[in-house]
Amino acid sequence: MPAAITSANTVRRGRRSVLAGAAARGLLGGLAGAAAMTASQRLERAVTGRPASHVPGRTLLLLAGRSPSEGDRPGAATLTMVVATSAALGAVRGVWRASGLLRVRADVAQTVLRIIVDQTLENATGAGAPPRTWRQGEGVVEVLHAAVAAVATGAVVERLVEPVLESRRGTTSH
């Protein structure tokens, strides 16, 4: 899109409107990320024999004021938490894209943010344990699944959101 058209559209619609639209379209990318992450987890578990984690579901139940036991396996809550987190991160990803954070840098940032969000919620509620206490290799698997979600989210967001708010101010001095 030519810069003059982009600038005119941005001014006419306003930054808030552009960001809200980018976030809304980013939600769609987040749903694609949730689907990709769920599929990669199922494939990985079929290969490794690792059991499914129900920590996200227990986290959601704790956030909702319930008291799940360690043995609870809330499948629907787990899926809901994965989808909700992915959708929220997709909205962030849409805003990043509109603002000019693109491709691989955005994939890396989203992967890290996913791990941070998951770990913060899981540890703050007491549903999960810090990564330093996990069995060897668990952290690598979690990062890989978060990366799958980030790349899938990005693939959709890069098609739906233009970087119309990308600025060139501050590129020569701070």
The pLDDT score that the predictor gives to residue 111 is 98
Residue pair 33/86 in contact (Cβ under 8 Å)? The answer is: yes
Q: Select the more confidently predicted residue: 109 or 10.
A: 109
Q: pLDDT by residue (tens digit) across 20-34? A: 999 999 999 999 999
Indicate whether 84 pLDDT > 60: yes
**What is the pTM for the complete model shown?**
0.89
Residue pair 145/41 in contact (Cβ under 8 Å)? The answer is: yes
Residue partners of 83: CB distance under 8 A and separation at least 6: 31, 34
Q: pLDDT by residue (tens digit) across 87-143? A: 999 999 999 999 999 999 999 999 999 999 999 999 999 999 999 999 999 999 999
Q: Select the more confidently predicted residue: 76 or 10.
A: 76
Every domain of the chain and the residues it spans: 3-160
Amino acid letter at 117? V
Residue partners of 38: CB distance under 8 A and separation at least 6: 79, 82
Give the burial string for 43-61 (b: 16+ CB within 10 Å, else e). eeeeeeeeeebbbbbbbbb
Mean pLDDT score of the chain? 92
